[in-house]
Structure 1
Amino acid sequence: MEIGIQIRYAAWLTALPEVKQVTLKAAEAALAIEPHLQVRELSIVLADDAMVRTLNNDYRGINKATNVLAFAYGCNEECAALGDVIISLERTAAEAKQDERGLSDHLSHLVIHGVLHLLGYDHGKDDDAKAMEALETRALAGIGIDDPYAPSRRGEVQ
């Protein structure tokens, strides 16, 4: 399994020097949710608001930055490449500060959230959102991170 991590915004390394290790650990935790999939490739891009805004506008028609974008390649059980997850440092850092969470923990949450989208999970309906949140919480617990959806930690992941 190859998890490609591209740092497209150098400030990630200043904000979180261990960003690649944190990202890799979170991606592996998310992929463990669906161990039967034979995914051989996943791309994670650590970007800035400008890049995320451009992609969000170009592919979703929404001209603003968001915390995480996920672009699936249409994976099935025998796929090779799962897709791309793109995460904005500015959004991630602002949300971590607002929710009084560490940047590392919030980045892990967003990586897991993005990978779950690539695996086909969604949060458009209440029942789907609850199921996705439960999977996120389980994956985060597996890497020693507290439940971000606990009543005292109710942040928003888009």
Structure 2
Amino acid sequence: MKRLRLSYQRVCSAEVPPRAAVLRWVRAALQKGEAQVAVRFVDTEEGRELNRRFRGKDYATNVLSFVYDVPEEAGLMGDLVLCAPVVEREAAEQGKPLAAHYAHLIVHGMLHLQGYDHEDDSQAAEMEALERDVLGRLGFPDPYVDEER
């Protein structure tokens, strides 16, 4: 049985999805077990600082995932940080509804928290298949439909 404790943090002025939607998306992406997850919506300055500090990249990115190193019996613990201005810009550039892009990035981040990655083609294919499945169950279109492999 999945049990989830969600901390919803909005520290930006941009449009962000409501807590109920975020809870639904996080829960849908949770593979199994218990989880404590914080989802934080930030502005460009905080997004850039976190990306620089933890990934060595001096720009704001759409989503960052931070998993806590805790004993397995404690369940999954982690943070997702979404840079709202970057997410808005990307959704507009890609011609996607903002909610669909947020749902995709939250599902993507949740999979990272659970150990999935996309460092090589095989990992990317597995992770993208899971994202498509979860998003499809949530009623969202395939986020990779326009990409060529």
TM-score of the pair, normalised by structure 1? 0.85
Q: Are the aligned partners of 2:42 and 2:82 in contact in 1 as well (CA < 8 Å)? A: yes
Aligned residue number for residue 97 of structure 1: 92
Most deviating of 75-84 and 109-118: 75-84
| Aligned partner of 2:120 among 116, 125, 128 | 125
Q: Alignment length, in residue pairs?
A: 145
- The alpha-carbon deviation at position 77 of structure 1 amounts to 4.1
Query: 2:13 maps to which residue?
Result: 10
* Displacement of 1:75: 5.2
Please report the RMSD computed on the Cα atoms of aligned residues, expressed in angstroms.
1.7
Deviations 1:32-76 (A, max 9, x none): xx22x232x111101111111101111111111100000111356
**Aligned with 1:29: secondary structure?**
helix
Q: Which runs of 5+ in 1 are unaligned?
A: none
Kept in 1: contact 2:80–2:106 (CA 8 A): yes
Q: 1:127 to 1:104 in 2, by over 3 A?
A: same
Which 4+ residue blocks in structure 1 deviate beyond 6 angstroms? none
TM-score (norm 2): 0.90
Distance apart, 1:144 and its partner CA: 0.4
2:6 is paired with a residue of what secondary structure?
A: strand
Contact 1:75 1:119 in 2 (8 A): no
Q: Does 1:38 align with 2:34?
A: yes
Which structure would you say has the larger RCO, counting Cα contacts within 8 Å and 6 or more residues apart? 1
Q: Deviations over 1:113-149 (max 9, x none)?
A: 1111000000011100010000111110111001011
Percent of aligned pairs with the same amino acid = 34
Q: Which runs of 5+ in 2 are unaligned?
A: none
